[in-house]
Homo-oligomer: A and B are copies of this chain.
Amino acid sequence: MAMNKLVSGVEEALEGVHDDMTFMLGGFGLCGIPENCIAELRKRGIKNLTCISNNAGVDDFGLGLLLQTRQIKKMISSYVGENDEFERQMLSGELEVDLIPQGSLAERCLAGGAGIPAFFTPAGYGTEVGEGKEVRMFNGKPHILEAALTADFAFVKAWKGDSSGNLVFKGTARNFNPPMAMAGKITVAEVEELVPLGELDPNFVHTPGIFVQRIFQGASFEKRIEQRTVRSKN
């Protein structure tokens, strides 16, 4: 009999979050971000957070909302452009920032979820990222040792999900959500559509429910587009 991870909503889903915790948040830019969890974190006003997220949102959306309220102590990201408040806090030293190559970020989350405490990668060798890290040659090429990342909570956003926590993502909204779902001590999934157990095809589930501890239907999703780019029909 499948486990029941269903919670009533975002409030119950975030039970136990508090100051000084480390969170992972899925998404790439504003695509596939856990909007409901971010809103609730802001509402709760918890502080001194370490947030692991590929990007830091924009000034008034995504993680930008928690930067406005100065709830974030440290960001671990790969790309943080497009956010003036972020840049101000970082350059002034108010915000700690650990910038990580995007592939290393994804792999470090995956490793954290997969019980691989460290691995070698060529990315970042010879740069600031490699400073202080062990270097070893493989196939004549220098590699650096990178450590796994885990988090107290991982917040992910899926398209569809069932009560046992099985998740399916849509389009490029998948991005960091699956590796981060694996790396949370408690992984919370907010979904656009909660489907009955058995409706998801077992052969086509992106994130198996074993990685998810709590799931709820998001109250609303804005799904803002950061760079609306189109071509004309001619």
A residues within 8 Å of B by Cβ?
A: 107, 111, 114-122, 136, 138-139, 143, 168-171, 203-204
**Subset of 18 A-B contacts with CB under 8 Å:** A107-B114, A107-B116, A111-B119, A115-B121, A115-B122, A116-B119, A116-B120, A116-B121, A117-B120, A117-B138, A117-B139, A118-B119, A118-B136, A119-B119, A119-B120, A169-B203, A170-B203, A171-B203
Query: What is the bound-complex CA distance between A122 and B122, given in angstroms?
Result: 23
* Total copies of this chain within the assembly: 2
A171-B203, A203-B170 given; A118·B116 CB < 8 A? no
Bound complex: CA A168 to CA B143 (Å): 33
**Smallest CB-CB separation from A121: which chain B residue?**
B116
The 7 closest A-B CB pairs, nearest first, are A117-B138, A119-B119, A204-B204, A116-B119, A118-B120, A117-B120, A117-B143
Give the complex CA separation of A64 and B200 in angstroms.
37
Collect the chain B residues with CB atoms within 8 Å of residue A120's CB.
Answer: 116-119
Complex alpha-carbon distance, A116 and B120, angstroms: 6
Chain B residues within 8 Å of A139, by CB: 117
Q: How far does the Cβ of A120 sit from chain B's closest Cβ, in whole Å? A: 5
Q: Which residue of B lies closest to A171 (CB)?
A: B203
CB distance from A184 to the nearest CB of B (A): 17
Contacts of A169 in B (CB 8 A): 203
Query: How far, in whole Å, are A203 and B139 apart by their CA atoms in the complex?
Result: 35
Tell me the nearest residue of chain B to A168, going by C-beta. B203
| B residues near A115, Cβ cutoff 8 Å | 121-122
Chain B nearest CB from A81 CB (Å) reads: 26
Give A118 to B138 CA distance when docked, in angstroms: 9
Contacts of A170 on B, CB cut-off 8 Å? Answer: 203
Distance in angstroms between the alpha carbons of A122 and B139 in the assembled complex = 24
B-side contacts of A111, CB under 8 Å: 119
Q: How far is the CB of A50 from chain B (nearest CB, A)?
A: 18
Closest chain-B Cβ to A177's Cβ sits at a distance in Å of 13
- For the complex formed, measure the closest distance between the CB of A2 and the CB atoms of chain B, giving whole angstroms: 18
- Shortest C-beta distance, A202 to chain B (Å), equals 8
Of chain B, the residue at the smallest CB distance from A169 is B203
Write the chain B residue with the least CB distance to A150.
Answer: B139
